[in-house]
A = this chain, B = another copy of it.
Amino acid sequence: MSDLTEIRDAARAFIAEREWQQFQDPKSVMLALVGEVGELAELLQWLPADEARALSREEPLHTRLAEEMSDVLVYLVGLADQCGVDLGESALAKIEASAAKHPAEETRGVAPQK
């Protein structure tokens, strides 16, 4: 089974057992996702930028990062579930679309633009 499906099913069961489906409207789940994104940002905020990758692999930071990334993912999967989005399929299609939009030969070594 795909792991996004497994996470979705585990999250669904967690919510159903607690009768929390009533709280899972998209705007509420979106705000919960924002809360977890904030907790993840807090773990990185004061790290020296050029040491962040190395420091992110040291404990206890590594485990805390994994936990907060997991929280973000679980709410993202839950939001997709509320909105009837197949997240795995969409993400792969989006990477393909981005590749077509930003040809490698035109973007090589140039910082992505907004």
Chain A contacts to B: CB under 8 angstroms: 2-7, 10-11, 14, 17-20, 22-23, 25-28, 30-47, 49-50, 52-53, 56-57, 62, 65-67, 69-74, 76-77, 79-80, 82-88, 90-96, 98-99, 102, 104, 107-109, 111-112, 114
Copy tally for this chain in the complex stands at 4
Q: What is the interface of chain A mostly: helix, strand, loop, or mixed?
A: helix
* 4 extra A-B contacts, CB within 8 A, seeds A17-B108, A18-B104, A35-B39: A27-B27, A31-B31, A35-B42, A46-B112
A95 near B7 with CB under 8 A, answer: yes
A17 CA to B106 CA in the complex, in Å?
Answer: 11
A42 contacts which chain B residues (CB < 8 A)? 31-32, 35, 38, 114
